[in-house]
Structure 1
Amino acid sequence: MEREERKKRLEELLRERRKNEEKLETERRIAEMLELFPDKDKVKILDEKESNKVETEMTECFPVAWYGRIDWDRMSNKIVIPNEDISNIPFFLSQQSLENTLPVYIIVGLYKYPVVKTSLTTALDNIEEIMSMGPDQYIYCPLSKYVIEFFHDDIITVGWL
């Protein structure tokens, strides 16, 4: 029986260790996201549950292709923007009668980073740092129903419902 008790104890220790490692990894990802924004009081890092909710809401509103990118072929309201026109995104949105002062969510496409809630201005002011986080990022505004996809091949697409 002593062998079984040792085995159970070892399994318990391994579970605790994995849980601690996951917690440390989550804290590292949060810190990494916060580093992107010099003015930290303008951003809110969402917890895992809130992040999943926002990501799910975005993918329910905008069709996602099997390879992880928004399926722009299924969207009629869209515009492709060259990199040099990133600062004009608020203007493009207002041309479509979309409110660009409402809160937005920054979603880093891979690596399970937490979602960041902020303003479009703050997101765009820090877009170079955000784009360095991985191959694909999204700025999603659920209230105005638009999404901006920053794809890894330097294609920026804005879509709205």
Structure 2
Amino acid sequence: MFEAYSSMVTQAAISIRLARSADASDVAAVHDAAWREAYWGIIPGRELERMVQRRGPDWWSRVIARGGRIAVLEFDDKVRGYASYGRNRLAVSPYRGEIFELYLAPEFQGLGFGRRLFDAARRDLIGHRMGGLIVWSLADNSRAVGFYRHLGGIKVREMEERFGGEVRQRFAFGWS
């Protein structure tokens, strides 16, 4: 049911497909770079480092092997972004699906690739009867908040999350 799609951009193919075990190192590298870029100055340094380090290639390999839904975006035959998604983790919610994470390598942000990755994950969720979805974002991550609003997300919930000794607001954006 997962629909891959390709297009040509400056002579390089863009494709989106489900992750394979061989992608674990590339997904870990994107995660590392994207998290450091997105959360530096938002999540306390020591806590951010701990969070990045625990998601290395072995962690991603286990998630992929267990059948976790992870779509990867390839540009010029290299993984440049990923989205992990599945059933909404909140038991009581009108939104059946959730995109847990959507990240691109920093140099590939702002080029329309995030929208493509979001759309592919959303289609896959709908194909698995998980229509209506949410995505959580830290309120201080203005780039992500703007991105999800630009895609038509409506803020449907707020929560607090603790990072070390500091508390940050999180927003849930919803799509019907």
**Greater helix fraction, Structure 1 or Structure 2:** 1
Decide: shared fold, TM above 0.5.
no
Structure having the larger proportion of residues in strand: 2
Q: Normalised by the size of structure 1, how large is the TM-score?
A: 0.29
Q: Which has the larger radius of gyration?
A: 1
